[in-house]
Structure 1
């Protein structure tokens, strides 16, 4: 079977690359996703984008930032991996602001605030990490000064996109977890203050995209955080390539971009047939294994190469992420620690999308005896608990939802990948 390449939407050639964020000639454009990202970030306070690693989140975020910059917006991208505090985040923000314009306005707002100690102001101005403790001590006051600068900025004055600033924060949940684990006494208060500051900045005109390979609902539940500060953000996602034709267009583009000798439409179809899901990173990995030395593998070897090299790598890269998330749910406490895996199994085992009421009935029948008899240690499962559980599983890439006009919910597997994970972990059943 041959698959046409929709030339108006996708590049005919993509340079093969597996392992990190791709851009430029290495990127396979996905116009529908790009249009959704741009619309959400230009038309509201911002969005949150959570899900497994290597699913294309950072690639789509980088592409979005590049598009928005061409429209005259200032986009600041901060990767919080390696950061340890909210002061670190402020340092990165100041280092990334353009010296003229936003950088000047924010520095003037902070420099003119007598409530901020001179040592903290100087640490920010000079990017002196030895002053992180001083910056942390004045975080709230500094955040308010930034809020004033935003409120007086061009976006607020003109109500126009031109001149607006957007902040993209990658791996924010991991920074939050480091703060919470490193400061048992005040960590929760510090995160609540951080979330509140980010919300005030958004309300003052700063667009925002919060990205993470783990969700924030579970973290909020575990540490009893105030998640209301995030309820203005739209949920975005990066699904697998939507059709076999689109996936084939991507694989064909890799073959063209890599100038792969001997690649044929039959090779492309074999890759699709052997793949658990059409995520670009997975197809990239398969293509990498099947094209050693710049030449296509023999067709009769493809099934064995998938079994011996592609699937073991995908198990390590993707399926183990699901395993770790299930393990993390144990720290949340009851009644969710035991019921979240049950909810996940109910949805994934269903032959068709399943309603919230049906989920409750199923887990009611399957609850362990300790949860059938609520105690202080095993409290009952109420609607708020069920909602949190479903949203955690949604943020972590297990399930997804459609909501009808009357508000009824239908839950389903988030992708073929999670169904493949369930089958693999159940020994093929």
Structure 2
């Protein structure tokens, strides 16, 4: 096991210097060939994915998690299209971020460079495999992919297709590495390979992210557990609020930018809550409410302290009646995971107060939290959604996968 993981890391490290030097046209061609490979392999990818879905159903996975795991023709074509969109994006590598000249005549430039070797540890969503590979290639990085056991067959065939697409077209397939063992020991080993890996990005549930953050000696970019809130202010348009809440909770409940908690201003709670809760319940959502909520709607489940902390990733939502915007902000900053938060209001002052004071990677006024996504933000795809404040925050596109170096031009200057 140890030799296997180290070998993969070594191959990624050796190839990283090659891809770092590649020009934009070559990287774009690789992405287009990878995209073609996915579309030409629809049937075999779907067959392998069915094995994972069958096992997930046998193990009693929730319908939301099975949805995240499932691939079909439409989703595979979206993966392929995602690679094409990445090819259309500006190449960040070699761009001058800033430049200046010192009084002694030294010309200094800050230039974007690849990070080197990026390790991605992720769960459930096999589309991450192609998105991550595509973004790393466009940003001049080699990548080591370690997907979860629940998607092992899907991830393995996707990587095989991507690597074969590179090799058939004269490119180095070693730019993309895949750890195809499901033993957690492989993750533990990756976390200690500072010699070969420049950064690790965990994508998945709270347990995985916490485990990597607490145990890795390789630098980690912490991505998003999403306990996301929607606060309905006293001046909110009810129809707008209903549409946004339904979208944020129901469209895809198993994703990190889905709403998990609803906060409602007490001035409108008796009028608004019966309507929205009925709609949610009719759509299969389990509503867990605070005491004030249950006084208005007595057939909802009692919410616990733990419910307000929980990323359900399912058709469940916690509901709390709050006195006003200050209590809403206080609640979100206490229980939120700094991912995505939204206010529904007609009050310009309250909207700006919320956007200014809520501590999260993405804050919204009158829009669904479901937009926190690399594709929706115009990044083509994303490597993850960072909830930390160092290096990168929010949906991580190409620039988040780069560092900088200082390029200094002189004419014989020496320091006195």
User: What TM-score, normalized to structure 2?
Assistant: 0.27
Greater share of residues in helix: 1
Greater share of residues in strand: 2
